[in-house]
Amino acid sequence: MEMKEHIRNKFAERFGAPEGEFFASAGRINLIGEHTDYNEGFVFPGAIDKVIMAEIRPNGTDKVRVFSIDIDDYAEFGLREEDAPSQSWARYIFGICREIIKRGGKVQGFDAVFAGNVPLGAGLSSSAALESCFAFALNELFNDGKIDKFELAKIGQSTEHNYCGVNCGIMDQFASVFGKKGHLIRLDCRDLSYEYFPFAPENHTLVLVDSRVKHELKDSPYNKRRESCERVAKSLGVPSLRDVSLAELNAVKVTISDEDYRRAKYVIEERDRVLAVCAALERGDYDEVGRMMYATHEGLSKDYEVSCEELDFLADLAKEIGVTGARIMGGGFGGCTINLVRKDLHDKFIAEATKRFAEKYGHEPKVYDVIISDGARRLEA
Ligand code: GLA
């Protein structure tokens, strides 16, 4: 059954008539610029055609009642700080409500049913899709759309920080809110200035290969990576690694730990790679884009140490098969690789990667062709 029909039936069954309104937001890919967002660097993401969709209707009470179709679970909570629900999935929605209220926005009780097809824990930002779907919807339903899109993205990010234990940057929520069909977004995470880049390569396509190694950013070394970067910035007397050159980093090498040095070195190199990739794209130089992607993988694996055996295997395999560029995508510690693949190699790559991965790890990876799509939006009923 179509996702929307499924939601509509569930909503009617749980909450009765009349119908609510439908909203959706998207997961994201990131072509390059990993772990640069919280260092005030650049990122280059885009929203994809995998979404979280919700039907929502104000219920005239001060209670929120939500049903998740995919988790098959129901949660109910009030809108005061002490009413936080126990289920982790419901805390995302609770957090969005609280963050809107904290900023002086309005939220009243509502009923909602939601479902999605953004793979969970694959590095495609299912949580940002959920956050921006509800942030966008509650803005439309209770605030006449007056909260601007930048603020909606920040509301999602603050939800992660304050209610979900992940000290993430702004990339995922920004891509999910600002996503535009057929375009990647170069975002400067320092001042949130951004530019849309048309992305419709003639001879290449983007393919995600999900190792199905699950990652959980909460309590993961993700927050530790961020601490390393902040420590190095502090020791250099600057607010972030954004303005630090390799020469400046090398000048303090002996005064910081080897681990912190490698983390910072990766971030500085990655910051420059994003700009190089944008320039290469404008020239249509996909080989250069691909080289940069492999360099990012190398840095994430050796210096930033957020890869794992399965993802290294997938990136090496891609190179061996002749894929233009491949790298781990997202926070890391599992999830998927993003691959820039020549169209004439597409089928061969997928067949070969699936077979060889399954031979080695005993299960097939999941493969997704990426379609760059719109972000948060209201849907026709
Ligand atoms: C996660 C975070 C983002 C970003 C990426 C790594 O997806 O939510 O803010 O830091 O990891 O680039």
Residue identifier of the C-alpha nearest atom 10 of ligand 1: 35
Tell me the two tokens of residue 270.
């990655």
Q: Is the CB of 310 under 6 A from ligand 1?
A: no
Q: Is the CB of 242 under 6 A from ligand 1?
A: no
Helix (H, G, I), strand (E, B) or coil at 18: coil
Question: Mean pLDDT of successive 10-residue segments in the chain (381 residues)?
Answer: 94 97 98 98 98 98 98 98 97 98 98 95 93 98 98 98 95 98 98 96 97 73 94 97 97 97 98 97 96 98 96 98 97 94 98 98 96 96 78
- Spatial neighbors of 105 by CB under 8 A, at least 6 apart, are 138, 139, 142, 143, 147
Q: Is the CB of 27 under 6 A from ligand 1?
A: no
Q: Separation of 217 CA from ligand 1 center, angstroms?
A: 9
Q: Separation of 36 CA from ligand 1 center, angstroms?
A: 8
Query: Quick one: which of 105, 124, 116 has its CA closest to 47?
Result: 124
Distance from the first to the final alpha carbon of the chain:
16
CATH code at 3-199+373-379: 3.30.230.10
Amino acid at 277: V
Instruction: Name the catalytic one among 49, 70, 144, 172.
Output: 172
* Known catalytic residue at 172: yes
Q: Is the CB of 131 under 6 A from ligand 1?
A: no
Helix (H, G, I), strand (E, B) or coil at 232: helix
Residues forming a β-bridge with 205: 341
pLDDT at 72: 98
DSSP string computed for 156-201: HHHHHHHHS-----SHHHHHHHH-BTTEEEEEETTTTEEEEEE---
pLDDT at 120: 85
Q: Is the CB of 20 under 6 A from ligand 1?
A: no
pLDDT at 60: 97
Place of tokens 């894929």: 323
Amino acid at 106: K
Q: Separation of 172 CA from ligand 1 center, angstroms?
A: 7
How many other CB atoms sit within 10 Å of the CB of residue 309? 12
CATH code at 204-370: 3.30.70.890
pLDDT at 214: 78
Q: Is the CB of 270 under 6 A from ligand 1?
A: no
Residue identifier of the C-alpha nearest atom 9 of ligand 1: 169
Tell me the two tokens of residue 45.
């993401």
Tell me the two tokens of residue 365.
């990876």
How far is Cα 171 from Cα 157, in angstroms, rounded to an integer?
A: 9
Listed by start position, the domains of the chain span 3-199+373-379, 204-370
- Spatial neighbors of 201 by CB under 8 A, at least 6 apart, are 286
- The residue whose CB lies within 8 Å of the most ligand 1 atoms, and thus the one to mutate among 28, 29, 30, 35, is 35
